[in-house]
């Protein structure tokens, strides 16, 4: 006999904020609920690849962090996208903490 969990018992999907470095050294920031799938889409130049990333492979994921909701991930993404490339590199190296730029965790 199998039992199914009710909605309150089901684990809600996690959302990820990520930063990719392109072969031309530019940075791309995005969010997803499936980090591995999204990276593979970007890397493969598939139709689901972000237009900005087309032709900029290979990509390197230099940063990612997890959020409990899409809303929180979107708020963090907006703030990260406003950072300079140097600040994003500091974030990726651990010298800048996401909580210092976003009240989202």
Q: Which residues are paired to 19 by β-bridges?
A: 29, 63
Q: How far is residue 74's CA from residue 12's CA, in Å, rounded to a whole number?
A: 16
* Per-domain residue ranges of the chain: 15-97
The pLDDT-based confidence of 12 (bands split at 50, 70, 90) is low
The pLDDT-based confidence of 3 (bands split at 50, 70, 90) is very low
Q: How far is residue 73's CA from residue 46's CA, in Å, rounded to a whole number?
A: 24
Task: Please list the helix, strand and coil fractions of the chain in percent, rounded to the nearest 5, in that order.
Answer: 35, 20, 45
**Distance from the first to the final alpha carbon of the chain:** 39
Amino acid 52: pLDDT: 95
Amino acid 46: pLDDT: 84
On whether the 15-97 domain is CATH 3.30.413.10, my answer is: no
The pLDDT-based confidence of 103 (bands split at 50, 70, 90) is low
């Amino acid at each position: 006999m199998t039992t199914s969990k009710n909605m309150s018992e089901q684990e809600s999907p996690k959302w990820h904020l990520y930063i990719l470095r392109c072969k031309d050294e530019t940075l791309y920031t995005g969010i997803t609920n499936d980090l591995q799938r999204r990276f593979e889409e970007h890397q493969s130049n598939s139709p689901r690849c972000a237009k900005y990333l087309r032709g900029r492979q290979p990509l390197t994921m230099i940063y990612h962090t997890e959020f409990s909701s899409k809303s929180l991930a979107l708020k963090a993404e907006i703030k990260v996208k406003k950072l300079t490339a140097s600040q994003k590199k500091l974030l990726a190296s651990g010298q800048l903490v996401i909580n210092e730029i976003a009240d989202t965790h």
